[in-house]
Structure 1
């Protein structure tokens, strides 16, 4: 993180208690707990976007291969 900005947010009491519990277990601040959670969430989102992109690319490649195979059959004589 290059810059840190102060932020005031409202959270349900149960989440604050949970953040405090995690902070105590790990010996870090409440802010670090929340920051780590948001970083993990951002990483999961990025991975999901990459996964979706790879699925689209795979489908495009499959379609291209099907077209290329059909065209190759038109130009290359059948082996006898």
Structure 2
């Protein structure tokens, strides 16, 4: 009887562990997909134009040799 109870408890715990890992995996994959979508938006030509327009509002000569802002770089890992 005790051996049967231990086997049942082991199966139950394995099932719970499998459910928890499945939920965690789903959450991770959703977050990864969302991050990839955000990176694609930031890499788009429309975003590039908006970023450069904003920089030119700060410095009319931005992105030229005469401007204070000569270039910019986007850290794609920090996109939220």
Structure 2: distance between partners of 1:51 and 1:70: 29
Q: Does 1:44 align with 2:32?
A: no
- What is the aligned-residue RMSD (CA, Å)? 0.9
TM-score (normalizing by structure 1): 0.55
TM-score (normalizing by structure 2): 0.55
Residue 31 of structure 1 deviates from its aligned partner by 0.4
Number of aligned residues:
46
Structure 2: distance between partners of 1:32 and 1:71: 58
- Following TM superposition, the consecutive aligned residue runs of length 4 or more in structure 1 with deviations greater than 6 angstroms are none
Residue of 6, 10, 27 corresponding to 1:56: 27
Structure with larger RCO (C-alpha < 8 A, sep 6+)? 2
Structure 2 stretches of 5 or more lacking a match? Answer: 49-80
Structure 2: distance between partners of 1:63 and 1:42: 32
